[in-house]
Structure 1
């Protein structure tokens, strides 16, 4: 039986977030895809798991601006009595290794995206053929 993300336990710790990302995406199967997970103010994952295909190796200002606009439009819908919503990002790439300088640049850009759109950031991860790794 497949569980809906809304029926799963809340993401209360960094380990919870890492385990959720690993269970949803696991090791990379495609190259250059940015995944977005949205989490409400109660730290419950929403049913949204959005892939953004053909993500450039380094942050592109137009793509970053687009993410700010999109996330700014959904930020209010994620607010609960416990607080603002948050985002989790996963950079999927088929290479080996943990975190690269390009991944770190994405981590910083995605932190700024969340800050500009009024969302918290629960983490930026890579998914490589070696598994899931925390970037930020």
Structure 2
């Protein structure tokens, strides 16, 4: 059920089922390889920011070579930037959606990114509320046991 953004912002997403329903309403299924972030406040209400990012590296442990002088991996750089976004938005947690065409089953690349980014976020004290896979036929919960 799709609802207007101003109404959606009032509804806390306190259960996993409610959060998955919201992600499904927003994204429905995969069209290309990209990564989405959604931000939640301290009451688990969605903030009015949802960000896609295409073109992220295939290997989350790839060293960053972008001229910024960041001393770490691709996953660590993203976690560092997420920490800034969380602070700027006044968010309490973030939700990741790994969009990629294909089956609902996680791939080694899905698991590597989910694991490395979750670890990097913990190091930056960024709370990851949930991770999902958007695949060709829908949205699937990506539980920590799936990428351990």
> What TM bracket, shorter-length normalisation?
0.7 to 0.9
* CA apart distance, 1:97: 3.2
Indicate the structure (1 or 2) with the bigger Cα radius of gyration.
2
Aligned match of 2:20: 18
Query: What secondary structure does 1:49 align onto?
Result: strand
Per the TM alignment, residue 20 of structure 1 is displaced from its structure 2 partner at its CA by 1.0
2:83 is aligned to 72
5+ residue gaps, structure 2, are: 65-73, 144-148
Q: Which residue of 2 aligns with 1:51?
A: 52
Distance 2:96 2:18 in 1: 14
Displacement after TM superposition at 1:16 (Å)? 1.4
Distance 2:61 2:93 in 1: 22
- Two-structure CA RMSD over aligned residues (Å): 2.2
Cα distance between partner residues in 2 of 1:5 and 1:135: 27
Instruction: Name the CA distance, whole Å, in 2 between partners of 1:107 and 1:37.
Output: 15
How many residues were matched structurally? 131
Residues in 2 aligned to 1:5 and 1:32: alpha-carbon distance in whole angstroms: 29
Question: How far, CA to CA, are the matches of 2:119 and 2:7 in structure 1?
Answer: 26
For residues 1-136 of structure 1, the aligned pairs below 5 Å read 2-4=4-6, 7-29=9-31, 31-61=32-62, 62=64, 63-77=74-88, 85-136=92-143
CA distance in 2, matches of 1:58, 1:18: 26
- Give the SS at the match of 1:91: strand
Change (3 A) 1:16 1:59: same
TM-score (norm 2): 0.76
Gaps of 5+ in 1: none
